[in-house]
Amino acid sequence: MTFPRKISLALLAIIALAIVGRIWSLELPSVRWFFSFELTETISAKWPEFAKIYRNLFGGFLLSVMFVAVVILWITGKNFEWNPMTLRRVKRFRSLKRGYRSFLLLLGLVALTLPDQCLVGRKALIVKYEDQWFFPAFVSKNYQDDTFGGDPDLGANYRSIRDRFRLENEGNFVVMPLVPWDMTFDTDELEKVELVKRDGVFYETGSNKTYEGLSTAYDPAAPDRKVREVTLRDGKFQGLTTIYNAEGDPIAKETWNAGSLVELEADSPIDSVIAVKGLTFFALKYPPTSPSWERHHFLGTDSRGWDLFAQLYGGLQVVCKASFLYVVLTFFIGIVVGLSSGYFGGLVDLIAQRVIEILSNMPFLFIVMIIASRLGRENVSIMTIIAVLCIFSWIGISTYKRTAAFKEKARDYVAAARVLGAGTPRILFRHILPNVLSTSITLVPFSVTAVATSLTALDFIGFGLPDRYPSWGTLLADGLANLESPWIVTSVFAILVTLLLLITFVGEAIREAFDPKKFTTYQ
């Protein structure tokens, strides 16, 4: 079987999986993405009927585009043979160690995004409860907590179910994804760190520094009931202490100074107050929290309490998908415009060039910002951003293609084809296009770099994707706002630069493979 036919079959398999998953309401990793597009609330409110079918409509559209590609690949791939020139270029590319290794790493990174909710997510992969097996991560249905013996009013929180099962030890178990957090809107309860008292001074467990800040004590009989809230300075009580009753209402206030009680102020008799002596005080850790293996925040959290690893992973997925759509769209428009203005010349060329001049004078960031601020941040979707990016980015591609078309048009093989009686479409698609197309690949890495950088930069200044998308730029801005939490900026910087570096090396190697510079160095 030829190479295009293999690709065609693979695409067909993806289409089949996506449709099967949609029909049976399954959440299959990555292929579920085709049917994940939804209209924003503002638009849904305007056309509720359209909003209902939009998901299927858009998914169907994407899949039918893919199906057209499958058919074309299958038909044209019948007698496919590798062009010896292409083979030589591939060989040359593989011989460039730095670029080739970067390419493999990059492929690995992209492959890593495919398992999707198997790696990152709040839904359990497998739950075994009383001889029943559940696979919550792979079905669209949301289970209630009582399915697993919990509260019927709550949605299932698999992290707490796991902890409960472990405590009960009745043979039930939960298998969570590697990172048990959703990419967005998923926070854990505040972490409580016990304070230990040495010589009348409070320290954080495992720390030698006296504790500063707010601390809370709970009823020893009911560990969820807050009884005291007190501020500590240099590890000693200082200032106001609030005392709570069983209902959680503040009933009394104490004033402390350097660890000794100064004044007590109570609205009502406070017999129910539990003596300070027997209480254990806890410090509440507000996000951003530092990386911790015990809490499964492998890279810590941001200031919203969302897991950093999950967001970086989600951000990588967004970048991959965005780059894919962007490259396809940009190259399609660029090649069509460039080729036609180069081949036909004259009026077509003149108009295309004027349009290009206007567009290239518009500052891209301004346009994106204006559109983003006019739509409202919540209504911006990844498609909006990609559309705006594409309005500008095809220009570069079309310039190259225009020149290439001018060059190829004048060559003998085109003249020969025309003498043999080939029509314009045949010359364009069978003769010029294949020759022009192959060099396009040298531009792909730079396009991907551009889309990754612009997406991150836009999110960074707050004109990009809304919060429902995990985003590196938002994280970077968050890290800059929280200087005492360096893990945020470090991990975002690391992944962003790693990705860009790999792409740059690959791009450099591809360019070298396509256009080797052979120098006769002078000795």
- The smaller minimum CB distance to other proteins, of residues 172 and 393, is found at 393
- Reference 465, options 477, 456, 476, 453; nearest CA is 456
Out of 43, 66, 109, 500, the only residue in the binding site for other proteins (CB under 8 A) is 500
φ/ψ of 51, rounded to 5, equals: -60, -35
Beta bridge partner(s), residue 254:
241, 264
Q: Is there binding between residue 501 and other proteins (CB under 8 A)?
A: yes
Q: Is there binding between residue 375 and other proteins (CB under 8 A)?
A: no
Report the SS3 class of residue 88: helix
- The smaller minimum CB distance to other proteins, of residues 325 and 503, is found at 503
- The smaller minimum CB distance to other proteins, of residues 207 and 373, is found at 373
- The smaller minimum CB distance to other proteins, of residues 230 and 443, is found at 443
Q: DSSP state, 179?
A: B
In whole angstroms, how close is the CB of 403 to other proteins at the nearest point? 15
- Reference 372, options 479, 454, 463; nearest CA is 463
In whole angstroms, how close is the CB of 357 to other proteins at the nearest point? 5
Q: What is the DSSP string of 277-336?
A: GG--EEEEEPSS---BTTTTBTT-B-TT--BHHHHHHHHHHHHHHHHHHHHHHHHHHHHH
Single out the segment in contact with other proteins by CB under 8 A; choices: 31-39, 64-72, 362-370, 396-404: 362-370
Single out the segment in contact with other proteins by CB under 8 A; choices: 80-88, 325-333, 355-363, 421-429: 355-363
Q: How far is residue 50's CA from residue 52's CA, in Å, rounded to a whole number?
A: 5
In whole angstroms, how close is the CB of 374 to other proteins at the nearest point? 6
Contact between 351 and 337 (Cβ < 8 Å): no
In whole angstroms, how close is the CB of 491 to other proteins at the nearest point? 11
Out of 108, 248, 486, 516, the only residue in the binding site for other proteins (CB under 8 A) is 486
CB atoms within 10 A of CB 108: 10
Q: Is there binding between residue 363 and other proteins (CB under 8 A)?
A: yes
What single letter denotes the amino acid at residue 426? R
**Helix crossing, 382-409 with 346-361: angle to 10°?**
140
Report the SS3 class of residue 155: strand
- The smaller minimum CB distance to other proteins, of residues 261 and 370, is found at 370
Q: Is there binding between residue 360 and other proteins (CB under 8 A)?
A: yes
- The smaller minimum CB distance to other proteins, of residues 348 and 355, is found at 355
Number of residues that bind other proteins (CB under 8 A): 44
- The smaller minimum CB distance to other proteins, of residues 248 and 486, is found at 486
Distance of CA 316 to CAs 182, 413, 467, 495, 508, Å?
14, 44, 15, 9, 22
Binding mask 400-419 for other proteins (x = CB under 8 A): --------------------
Out of 36, 132, 373, 403, the only residue in the binding site for other proteins (CB under 8 A) is 373
Single out the segment in contact with other proteins by CB under 8 A; choices: 148-156, 208-216, 410-418, 493-501: 493-501
Q: Is there binding between residue 519 and other proteins (CB under 8 A)?
A: yes
H-type helices in 122-249, by residue range?
158-168
In whole angstroms, how close is the CB of 460 to other proteins at the nearest point? 6
Beta bridge partner(s), residue 244:
250
Tokens standing for 219? 């009823």
Out of 16, 57, 114, 370, the only residue in the binding site for other proteins (CB under 8 A) is 370
Q: Is there binding between residue 489 and other proteins (CB under 8 A)?
A: yes
Q: DSSP state, 26?
A: B
Single out the segment in contact with other proteins by CB under 8 A; choices: 86-94, 133-141, 191-199, 515-523: 515-523
Q: Is there binding between residue 260 and other proteins (CB under 8 A)?
A: no
Looking only at residues 58 through 117 of this chain, which bind other proteins when binding is defined by CB under 8 A?
A: 98
Tokens standing for 323? 């780059």
Q: Is there binding between residue 520 and other proteins (CB under 8 A)?
A: yes
Single out the segment in contact with other proteins by CB under 8 A; choices: 213-221, 335-343, 369-377, 394-402: 369-377
Q: Is there binding between residue 516 and other proteins (CB under 8 A)?
A: no
Distance of CA 146 to CAs 1, 4, 150, 153, 447, Å?
53, 51, 4, 8, 49
φ/ψ of 125, rounded to 5, equals: -75, -50
Out of 172, 456, 471, 474, the only residue in the binding site for other proteins (CB under 8 A) is 456
Burial annotation 196-218 (CB, 10 A radius, 16+ → b, else e): eeeeeebbbeeeeeebeeebbbb
Q: What is the DSSP string of 32-77?
A: GGGG-----HHHHHH-HHHHHHHHHHHHHHHHHHHHHHHHHHHHHT
In whole angstroms, how close is the CB of 354 to other proteins at the nearest point? 8
Q: Is there binding between residue 42 and other proteins (CB under 8 A)?
A: no
Report the SS3 class of residue 398: helix
In whole angstroms, how close is the CB of 369 to other proteins at the nearest point? 5
Binding site for other proteins (CB under 8 A): 98, 357-358, 360-363, 365-366, 369-371, 373-374, 449, 453, 456-457, 460-461, 476-477, 479-480, 483-484, 486, 489-490, 492-493, 496-497, 500-501, 503-505, 508, 517, 519-522
